[in-house]
Amino acid sequence: MLKIGFVSTRFAGIDGVSLESSKWADVLSRAGHKCFWFGGLVHRKPEDSYVVPEAFFGYPDIQWINSQVFGKRTRSREVTKKIHELRDLLKEHLHSFVQKFSLDLLIVQNAITIPMNIPLGLAITEFIAETAIPTIAHHHDFYWERNRFAVNSVGDYLRMAFPPQLPSIKHVVINSAAQEELAHRTGISATIIPNVIEFEKPPEINPEKTAMFRKRLNISDEEFMILQPTRIVQRKGIERAIELIRELRDPRCKLVISHEAGDEGYEYAEWLKQYAAESGVPLIMVNMPIADPWAVKQNCTKLSEEGYFTLWDIYPHADFITYPSLYEGFGNAFLEAIYFKKPMLINRYSVFARDIEPLGFKLVVMDGFPTRKNLEEVKRILYDEDYRLQIVEHNYEIALRHYSYEVLRKRLQSILIYFFGTESV
């Protein structure tokens, strides 16, 4: 049995990093390994968690640092001093975390990938360099993939730690474009492990809770729940979902956005409300706690039994999924829709076009904007149940072959064999 420490800025809620971390921990735990959690915001079992507020990207000092270094070409001595003060603090906590739980392996989730918390990335890098602890760096989205990091005054830190090139780190990316770009920019080779879901086992659905969720949103059985299962950030292209529903011209269609705004500000959410109102589209932004279903299953969430819904309570009552993202590292919502056998409109973002589309899924695919052909296909899916069932069953079978837990287990197994010889997943 290995003792494995997951490290990130946040393990809470239903962002992609938190969800995939839970799935990895699920697979590793089933293999007999023990998982522990280090972060600034952690919704896991308290006895298995090590919480350091300064590790959270929303911590005031971290937000201040980010405001001083992104969008600017130079940084002050005061900023540099604060970065190194926090780096030293976080590195000491990492030493304590590893010692407290006698860890054999670290799995760093996106914290040395995207510079949401620069001191944390530096602390992790120095800690690994000093200890040579076996580490898997799981990269979800790199800083060069985000325009807001293009102009910065921390290029020295980005080259050092986002990501670092150290002999005890095995790098994992979630798509082939990231694999190639990482090699081109840094010379680092990486293994591709796509996002996964346990397609071997159909979802466990609580009928009473799912019905309660739909009722809380005031959606009747005669109405269509069009679900946008993403965070409210501009790259999700949610305005295209509004345009689609406007052009359907069916008053029974209501657009529901399942995730919260805030990670990148609230301006986009306010604009969407205005745009939907002007378009005559009923828009519902879920304003109740939504929990990670894997964390709940493992009794890891801090949310009370009565006070939360999980993603698994939202999908069952959706009639159609919209996923018009401009960019995705992979696309958790895509897999979730397939898992719950829901039809979907998807934009041909680059990773989808390159890694997913060639596998032969049957989807309503738009290229930047919904066309008349897309509209007719959506109408057929909504109104023709036999056609809808044919599509979703076909998609499930493809996903079972390519994005199941077995895929994750085998690829993790090869990495553990590299580090530990005979250890397996």
pTM for this entry:
0.86
Structure tokens given for 183: 């090699």
Asked if residues 142 and 180 have their Cβ atoms less than 8 Å apart, the reply is no
**Domains of the chain, start order:** 3-196+405-420 (3.40.50.2000), 207-402 (3.40.50.2000)
DSSP letters for 75-107: --HHHHHHHHHHHHHHHHHHHHHHHHHT-SEEE
Q: How far is CA 286 from CA 41, 231, 382, in A?
A: 21, 11, 23
Say which residues have a Cβ less than 8 Å from residue 320's Cβ, sequence separation at least 6: 224, 225, 226, 227, 342, 343, 344, 345, 378, 381, 382
Per-residue model confidence as pLDDT tens for the chain (425 residues): 999 999 999 998 778 899 899 999 999 999 999 999 999 999 999 999 999 999 999 999 999 999 999 999 999 999 999 999 999 999 999 999 999 999 999 999 999 999 999 999 999 999 999 999 999 999 999 999 988 999 999 999 999 999 999 999 999 999 999 999 999 999 999 999 999 999 999 988 888 777 788 888 888 889 999 999 988 889 899 999 999 999 999 999 999 998 776 666 689 999 999 999 999 999 999 877 677 676 666 555 444 444 567 878 889 989 999 999 998 888 888 999 999 999 999 999 999 999 999 999 999 999 999 999 999 999 999 999 999 999 999 999 999 999 999 999 999 999 999 999 875 66
Asked if residues 399 and 339 have their Cβ atoms less than 8 Å apart, the reply is yes
- Residue 406: HSE in the Cβ half-sphere, 13 Å Cα cutoff: 7
Amino acid at 205: I
Nearest to 361 by CA among 376, 343, 377: 343
